[in-house]
Amino acid sequence: MTDQSLPQARRGQADAVAPDAPEGGATGGPATGGLSRRRLLGTAGATGLVLGAAGGAAGYAARPAGATPLSSLGAGEVMFHGKHQPGIVQRLQARGHLVAFDLAAGAGRKEAAALLRRWSETARRLMAGEAARQEDTGVALDAGPSSLTITFGFGHSFFARTGLEKQRPGALDPLPEFSSDRLDKARGNGDLWVQIGADDALVAFHALRAIQKDAGRAARVRWQMNGFNRSPGATAHPMTARNLMGQVDGTRNPKPADADFDRRIFVPESGSQDPAWMANGSYAVVRRIRMLLDDWEQLSVKEQEDVIGRRKADGAPLTGGTETTEMDLEKTDRAGNLVVPLNAHARITRPDQNGGAAILRRPFSYHDGIDADGVPDAGLLFICWQADPLRGFVPLQRKLDRGDALSRYIRHEASGLFAVPGGAAEGEYVGQRLLEG
């Protein structure tokens, strides 16, 4: 993804929550079982590095004097509380888990509220580099926050399960069917959705296990998908990510600095048809898109570039320049043919070719081994964000469905749509305005 805003690092802002504190967090004093990483962050000095920690289930204690400090990779920290939930505008992380839950039989609004309260406190602690509140597994004991983000959303079915049908946004109506869909319903949708991302695989897994354990008897896993991206620092200079087809992927992503970014990506605080609890939230479309890599890799580089409309080496448009050069849609070659074919993926997905429709793409790649036919089960865990899927994903996908050259080499195998409310303020949990409003 191109030019995503970097996580905000905090330095010594708050005390740890005591391991035996009540749900919602304690504010009366420091933790007694160990020193929080947030305090340790202030000792890193001008290097910006955070000291690591070790300890048991009672908390994370300071490492011995002279211990090797964490690298900048582990020190990255994203705030849990804020106007928007984390995991939307931050840069791509190296590891990711997507997991959907269904509420257990008999569980309703009360149980859902208690669950979101637990999840929010766990997310706050883990994103700060602290131990989970109860029975921490110790998996991430030696690591810093590693830019961990945990994001929560509600599926269409959640509102009937909790008696909140009148609060269900119209934008959460089921997505239309597309001709390229080969959807496995067992791996789609769900009452609740959680997105986890981190720059360290163990930190991401630790968060996944904590979230699953917190669900307890209130909810059960419906499906889980695991993904990855290139690790930060793996390239000589920062650059847009590549997907498993080898293509630079995400060049024209909207940027937070764009004047219309918030309007395109986030639900406004007023003047919206969405219910008030969705203010500053967004809608996530999640698609498991399988790449038919054996077929794709039989194409020449020139053929691949014609499918995409960009050079494979550097992501520049076929009409010339660098990755960020504006594509000349009218340019022809000596024979009079368009340099960027009419069905090229990069042409079709441009906002100016779709009435201004735009989405913020924030995907992970996946590889789930070899299937029964002996071909790779690999592709993209496609996640896109928008203020309204009917003005973002849907018109784009309809256009792609009618003639995208890339459609021969991909297959949509799972799909979900989730309402992701705005961020939780200090002392709140995600979704509180819906569940207690």
Q: Which two tokens stand for residue 79?
A: 């705030």
Q: Write the Ramachandran bin of 355: left for phi over 0, alpha for psi from -120 to 50, otherwise beta.
A: left
What whole-number distance in Å separates Cα of residue 156 and Cα of residue 417?
A: 8
Strands 61-62 and 192-198: unpaired
Q: DSSP string covering 116-141, please?
A: HHHHHHHHHHHHTTPPPSSS---TTT
2, 250 contact by CB (below 8 A):
yes
Q: Match 């020449």 to its residue by tokens.
A: 300
Q: Which two tokens stand for residue 96?
A: 């990711």
Closest among 314, 319, 340 to 247, alpha carbons compared:
314
231, 143 contact by CB (below 8 A):
no
What whole-number distance in Å separates Cα of residue 308 and Cα of residue 105?
A: 46
Instruction: Out of 249, 262, 306, 388, pick the active-site residue.
Output: 249
288, 412 contact by CB (below 8 A):
yes
Closest among 205, 220, 221 to 132, alpha carbons compared:
205
Coil vs helix vs strand at 393: helix
Q: DSSP string covering 324-385, please?
A: TSPP-TT-B-TTS-BSS-TT-HHHHT-GGGTTT---EE--EEEEEEE-TTSSEEEEEEEEEE
Is 249 catalytic? The answer is yes
Q: Report, as residue numbers or ranges, the catalytic residues.
A: 249
